[in-house]
Amino acid sequence: MPGGVTLNPDEVDITFAMGNRVHLPLPFWGSAMDGVVDLEFAIAMGKLGGVAVLNLDGVHTRYEDSAPIIKKIAEADRSTVNAVLKEAYREPVKPKLIVERIKAVKAAGVTCAVSTIPARAEERAEAVQKAGADVYVVQGTVLTARHSSRSYHQLSFEELVKACEIPVVVGNCVHYETALELMETGIAGILVGVGPGAACTTRGVLGVGVPQVTATADVAAARDEHMRRGGMRVAVITDGGMRIGADICKAFASGADAVMIGTPLAGAEESASRGFNWGMATPDPNLPRGTRIQVGTKATLREILVGPARVDDGTQNFAGALRSALGVCGARDIAEFQHTEMVIAPSIVSEGKVFQQAQHVGMGKS
């Protein structure tokens, strides 16, 4: 809801910090999806003030030149794309390429974040740090601090954090108690969201998930309780389900410190696939939980993140939208914006928009 005091959007603070090591001008993270983030994209987004996460289990660390593989996936027809994906991801990850990719990003002078599956987190931790990465993301469909298995070693986040000099971010999570337990292991950040992404099919395949506003509010409440108990502030990063500026602003108002976005960035001219996206679990050989989608090339990365916007539908200038939302709500920074009063209003995007809907312009395009 709008505030009782309004502020100049140019004078609000939307910077992001995670501990003492990570400081970003923009609170935007690029999702670790191969169709979005390659080496060049990670550098481009870093230079604009955000950070793009490179998937260590993706094609960019399996192939010396991943461009032909990305092109093959993008050009596959719907009837064969799953088979093409599975074949592409059969090539093993090469530790040498992991090191080379990290060093290349750091050589460009930007923040480097990398993502790994939990099963490889311990073995890769040392090499990732020595190569110069700034953030180590451990990501699965759902992660908890108390996983049980008789057939394989269980990753201890507490031990991993102790072994890492760089911040460890884990996810994904949507539950208050689960988030609180993960925070108590010493992690620096937590990813929020199960199944909301445009290319994700987890909610259809597994029937598991929580709406993003509810999930973000619950995990943010866990963060606040963790701090009340004397713990450090853990960055809450809402991951997925955001398409336009309004979605991003609602995530921050719900308690997020940053947002991780994938499909909106897939439409950038600089994206790895130039207009396609597929989820991290799409190539799973046994139970794919994602699909390839086409979004088309719509704008430059700069236009999407910081503008100026050339369209009126909220798909460009996310930073400008966030700044304006803070200004309208009277919040000087993101921490204040997290205390903004919210109302449940399903029809708010369509109220009074009869002509836009009829003419398919502005907010009536979707």
- Show the domains of the chain with their CATH numbers: 9-364 (3.20.20.70)
| Residues sharing a CB contact under 8 Å with residue 7, sequence separation 6 or more, in sequence order | 326, 327, 330, 331, 332
**Which amino acid, 80?**
T
Q: Which residues does the annotation mark as catalytic?
A: 200, 289
CA distances from 13 to 5, 20, 167, 265 (A): 16, 18, 23, 23
pLDDT recorded at residue 366: 62
**Which amino acid, 97?**
L
103-150 pLDDT, tens digit each: 999 999 999 999 999 999 999 999 999 999 999 999 988 888 888 777
238-250 pLDDT, tens digit each: 999 999 999 999 9
CA distances from 70 to 73, 86, 277 (A): 5, 13, 10
φ, ψ at 31 (rounded to 5°): -65, 145
148-191 pLDDT, tens digit each: 777 777 889 999 999 999 999 998 899 999 999 999 999 999 99
207-235 pLDDT, tens digit each: 888 889 999 999 999 999 999 999 999 99
CA distances from 323 to 50, 331, 334 (A): 15, 9, 9
Are the C-beta atoms of 193 and 215 separated by less than 8 Å?
yes
pTM: 0.93
CA-closest candidate to residue 95, choices 68, 53, 126: 126
| Residues sharing a CB contact under 8 Å with residue 48, sequence separation 6 or more, in sequence order | 26, 301, 302, 305, 306
Element (H, E) at 23: strand 22-24
Are the C-beta atoms of 266 and 276 separated by less than 8 Å?
yes
